């Protein structure tokens, strides 16, 4: 009888401790993506960047290849232009290239042309495609053939697609105003988000940190908005000292 009481008391104590631990540590819980994706600016490769030492390696501008610092070499990614929903599949040729952390990847002029990217605002969605995907398996088989075709295309022949001046002007007036925010992370609890904002203000010179409530269990910490790319890049580089895992740049949030 005494033994049963002892077991009951120990069980109650254990459950109480677990609840207390959850209560005390909930401010540390944040939402992270299981599948890697990032929204931000790409760096469109040019030989001048190599000469100016803004990038450490060359890339063939006729290819569907990219540099990325977080994704394994030979992985496939889907790159989308969110302004027109055009997308391409590209291969990561190297993850050991030095370039500014402000950019989520280095892409070729061919990719920029296929996506009809604005060279002054090369904003993209980048998503890692699972190796188990049947689509990737098919793509991998034909990738060498595509590269052979690309090698026959002169670099000078790659130009940004122009679908007509009238339509382009109309598109520009609709979407081309610069307004971006930096997404730090999503949290389950409001006090988690508040703690993150306090940390940013205490450890950096950034004071424009805000919390956006997306749902009852999702709170987003943002910096901005910024209407100038230089200010955006300055704040982005400053926040990198806190070593956040996957900072994103979001349009019009």
User: 82-123 pLDDT, tens per residue?
Assistant: 999 999 999 999 989 999 999 999 999 999 999 999 999 999
Give yes or no for residue 176 having a pLDDT over 50.
yes
Among the ranges given (58-62, 82-86, 245-249), the one the predictor scored with the smallest mean pLDDT: 245-249
pLDDT tops 80 at residue 152: no
Q: How many CB atoms lie within 10 A of CB 42?
A: 23
Confidence of residue 15 (pLDDT cuts 50, 70, 90): very low
What is the structure's pLDDT at 4?
Answer: 55
Average the pLDDT over 54-64 and give the result: 94
Tell me if the domain spanning 180-251 has CATH number 3.90.226.10: no
In this model, does residue 181 exceed pLDDT 60? yes
Nearest one of 221, 226, 210 to 177, comparing CA atoms:
226
- Report percent pLDDT > 70 for the chain: 68
Q: Are 188 and 217 in contact (CB under 8 A)?
A: yes
Over residues 219-228, mean pLDDT: 92
Residue with tokens 């703690």: 195
Q: What is the distance between the alpha carbons of residues 51 and 249, in angstroms, rounded to a whole number?
A: 28
Q: How confident is the model at residue 161 (pLDDT cuts 50, 70, 90)?
A: very low
Q: For residues 44 and 107, is the Cβ–Cβ distance under 8 A?
A: yes
Decide: 189 and 23 in contact? Cβ < 8 Å.
no
> Cis bond leading into 225, ω under 30°?
yes
What percent of the chain clears pLDDT 90, i.e. is strictly above it? 50
Indicate the pairing of strand 123-128 with strand 76-81.
antiparallel
pLDDT computed for residue 173 by the predictor:
41
Q: Work out the number of other CB atoms within 10 angstroms of the CB of residue 39.
A: 18
| Residues paired with residue 79 on neighbouring β-strands, in sequence order | 88, 126
**35, 128 Cβ separation under 8 angstroms:** yes
What kind of architecture, by CATH, is found in domain 37-174?
Beta Barrel (2.40)
Domain extents for the chain? 37-174, 180-251
Q: Which two tokens stand for residue 33?
A: 């993506």
């Amino acid at each position: 009888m005494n033994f049963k009481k002892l077991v009951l008391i120990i069980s109650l104590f254990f459950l109480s401790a677990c609840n207390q631990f959850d209560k005390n540590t909930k401010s540390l819980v944040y939402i992270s993506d299981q599948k890697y994706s990032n929204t931000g600016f790409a760096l469109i490769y040019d030989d001048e960047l190599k000469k100016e030492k803004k990038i450490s390696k060359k890339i063939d501008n006729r290819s569907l290849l990219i540099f990325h610092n977080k994704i394994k070499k030979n992985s496939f990614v889907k790159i989308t232009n969110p302004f027109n929903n055009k997308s391409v599949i590209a291969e990561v040729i190297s993850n050991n290239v030095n370039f500014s952390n402000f950019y989520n990847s280095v892409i070729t002029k061919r990719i920029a042309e296929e996506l009809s990217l604005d060279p002054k605002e090369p904003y993209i969605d980048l998503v890692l495609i699972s190796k188990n995907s049947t689509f990737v398996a098919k793509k991998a088989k034909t990738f060498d053939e595509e590269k052979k075709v690309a090698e026959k295309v002169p670099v000078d022949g790659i130009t940004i697609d122009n679908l007509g001046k009238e339509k382009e002007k109309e598109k520009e007036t609709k979407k081309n105003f610069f307004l971006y925010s930096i997404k730090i992370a999503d949290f389950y609890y409001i006090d988690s988000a508040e703690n993150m904002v306090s940390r940013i203000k205490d450890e950096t010179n950034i004071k424009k940190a805000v919390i956006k409530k997306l749902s009852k269990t999702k709170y987003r910490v943002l910096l901005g908005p910024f209407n100038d790319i230089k200010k955006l890049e300055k704040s982005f580089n400053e926040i990198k000292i806190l070593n956040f895992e996957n900072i994103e740049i979001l349009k019009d949030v």
